[in-house]
Amino acid sequence: MGAAFGTGSAGSLFGSSGSANFLSRSTAVAATLFFITSLSLTYIYSHPAQQEGVMDKVNPATTQTVPVAPAASPAETSPVDDSKSRDIPK
């Protein structure tokens, strides 16, 4: 099968078997670290310690209500209205 991939050596599955170089060993280490971190993150997120939201931490006794001022009418906000919007027929 190794000959099908262009290695020229049909003695083993994917080519000649020899000592691994730096890149193949570092790839194996990176793959192992990837699997370990993936499994760790899967375990951590599937077993949460406690489910507490942001609002669950707020003490209701410390919250204060602020009185809302009444909204001003449009006539009070702009005493001089020089626009032509009132001249548009409906």
The answer to whether 33 touches 41, Cβ cutoff 8 Å, is: no
pLDDT tens digits, the chain, 90 residues: what are they? 555 555 555 555 665 666 779 999 999 999 999 999 999 999 988 887 776 677 777 776 665 677 777 776 655 555 566 677 777 776
Instruction: Report which residue type is found at 53.
Output: G
pLDDT at 55: 76
CA distance 48 to 54: 15
The predicted model scores a pTM of 0.37
